[in-house]
Chain A
Amino acid sequence: MILKRYIPIAIVAIFGSLTLSAWFIDNETIETFANDDATQFFDIIAAFAVFLGALNLLKLQFIKFIKKQKGWQYSAISIISFFFAFTIGFFIRGAYFVEDKVFFTEEAALESLITVDISKGQQEPSYKVQENSFKDISDAKNFAIKQNLITPVDWGAHVQKNGSLFQWMFKYIFSPLSATMFALLAFFVASASFRAFRARNFEASLLLLAGIIIMIGRVPAGGLISSWMVMYLIVLVSGLYIHYLKKKNNVTIIFTLAGFILVTIAGMITGWPLDKPSIFYLPLLQEWIYLVPNAAGSTAILMGIGLGIVVTSLRYIFGLEKSYLGE
């Protein structure tokens, strides 16, 4: 009980209070702890969490594979991919430099240094490394190694070095797969918007309208749509709405015609500027939606999140929140 419950609560309470107090108390020791030591603790724990995550992933995939659960084939691919990346990351340097050129294996790097010389009258070929000639290829290789003509990349840097095997794996396997998965989103968004994005009530209609304005206004094509065209469209849609409400053709026709005439006269007077009146110009309208109603709503949400974080942090410090103990 003490070990599993009270000690973890005490650790959280002490460290939580210390890091919190660093914002309020002007003390160098506490500030150093909060700014340097605590963040390094976090980095170390985060690094270990990667191992924990990897083990958990393997455990789940192995269970799925062994028990032949639905989709076990994908688990097999996951496990193979994991060990493939693991091997390349931990056991293979994958980058050997010969001047500016980089090779995945030391053997390939050696071969690039050696030229085979078959001169006339010579029964067996000789192997040249720089200006030195060898009868045996292994001697040529040993010479190249002894002369440090090949520079292997440092361990650790090998996963980040340009041209390394790990980078090759990332560039030509992981990147296309990842990009493909994300690109599929466009298709699902299109399909979902066709089926589910409905103007069922006022709020949904408002969301729909704002969504359409932002989607069109954000892209260059939206800039080509004149504000006058939008105004004509508004008159047309309003006419349809009036028809839906009144069910009288005369009223609809008079309203729509009057609207069209008004818009046309206004356009002729002002000379049909593309972006005037700016309230009907989609790029400016979408910018306004982003900067005014959206910013107001997002700020409120952010403040709510902030207050929520404060309350949750205090609950952790006071030992009221114990979900991290599995309770």
Chain B
Amino acid sequence: MMIRKLENLIIKVGDVDRRVIFVLIGLAVLIPLLTPVSLPIRETPTTVKFYEGIEEIPKGSKVLVSFDYGPSTRPEIHPMNVAVLRHMLRNEHKVYISCLWPDGIYMALDALEDISDEFSLKEYEDYVLLGYRPGAEAVIKGLASDLRKVYTVDANGKFIDDIEMMDNVKNLNDFAYIYSGSAGYPGTFEWVKYGGDPTGVRMSSGTTSVQVNEVIPYVRSGQLIGLLAGMPGAAEYEKLVESPGIAIKGMAAQSFAHIVIVVFIIFGNIAFFLKQKKERKYSK
């Protein structure tokens, strides 16, 4: 009797209005954001490999950082890009920033603003903001061949030839490392195919969680030196570079949201099977 009542209750709750689910998910995200909960971050091998890949670059090298994402995927990619810039500048690398997405330029400006005071950043001494160019993979192919044919001026409209930092930069071969913070097309795939592979320049990427399963073969084959996988990857990297940021703060919210979704999945399945069982019983 008791079990039957419980079964009926589960079936009833299984038909719950979706607005209830929305509220519960909203709370699962909101509460940990408002009352921060500290959770231990455990570095995954792909993140450690990524970190070591950057550590292996000789100090003071030229590195290309590409901002290939927009505001929609900012919470996932932006923290890792900020941490990557921080790591590179800490190792005294010269950073060259390109963007394959039109919104990427604003993401780059924000990231530079975030770390500007920390490193007393000076444009044309520490970094060059090359800016956005349309053409996706054609831009990368152009950079691999002759950077000056793709970028005649930088984001400020200053001629590339007038920038001292650009003096010995002809194409991608002149960089020691390529990094792409990518949220889709054009991004990681295109950088591997037209940038990293043809030139042999070591490269890696940070991607959204949904892209990881597609990108992982490149990590296994060594075409990418490690990978930052979504917001958890960003949090792990923030921990490795010892600069806790928004990704670590967001981990509690993401953890709770994932748990709530998993609970929903399990509960939805239990309700589904109980309903099926009940229907079979009545149809006999």
Contact = CB atoms under 8 A, between A and B. Distances in A.
Interface of A: 35-36, 38-40, 42-43, 46-47, 50, 154, 156-157, 160-162, 167, 170-171, 174-176, 178-179, 181-182, 186-187, 189-191, 193-195, 197-199, 208, 211-212, 215-216, 218-224, 283, 287, 290-291, 294-295, 298-299, 301-302
A294 B213 CA distance: 6
A178 B21 CA distance: 23
Contacts of A43: 133-135, 138-139, 142, 150
A219 B39 CA distance: 9
A130 B234 CA distance: 49
A46 B135 contact: yes
A295 B156 contact: no
Interface of B: 18, 21-22, 24-26, 29, 39-42, 44-46, 70-75, 103, 105-106, 109-110, 113, 129, 131-136, 138-139, 141-142, 144-146, 149-150, 153, 155-157, 209, 212-214, 216-217, 219-220, 229-230, 232, 235, 251-252, 254-262, 264-269, 272
24 contacts: A35-B142, A35-B145, A39-B149, A47-B134, A154-B156, A157-B157, A160-B105, A160-B155, A178-B70, A179-B71, A190-B25, A191-B22, A208-B265, A212-B262, A218-B230, A219-B232, A220-B232, A220-B251, A222-B255, A223-B39, A283-B42, A283-B44, A287-B46, A291-B46
Shortest 9 CB-CB contacts between residues of A and residues of B? A221-B255, A182-B72, A35-B145, A42-B138, A220-B39, A157-B157, A175-B71, A43-B135, A154-B157
A212 B264 CA distance: 11
A299 B133 CA distance: 30
Contacts of B70: 178
Dominant secondary structure of chain A at its interface with chain B: helix
Given A218-B258, A291-B220, 12 more contacts: A40-B149, A156-B153, A160-B156, A178-B71, A186-B25, A191-B22, A193-B268, A194-B265, A194-B268, A197-B265, A212-B262, A299-B220
B265 A193 contact: yes
| Interface secondary structure of B, over-half rule | helix
Contacts of A156: 153, 157
Contacts of A40: 142, 149
A216 B268 contact: no
Contacts of A176: 71
A187 B24 CA distance: 9
B21 A191 contact: yes
A182 B73 contact: yes
Nearest to A157: B157
Nearest to B193: A306
A295 B216 contact: yes
Nearest to B39: A220
B213 A221 contact: no
Contacts of B110: 171
A186 to B, nearest CB: 6
A161 B229 CA distance: 30
A194 B63 CA distance: 45
B138 A39 contact: yes
A219 B135 contact: no
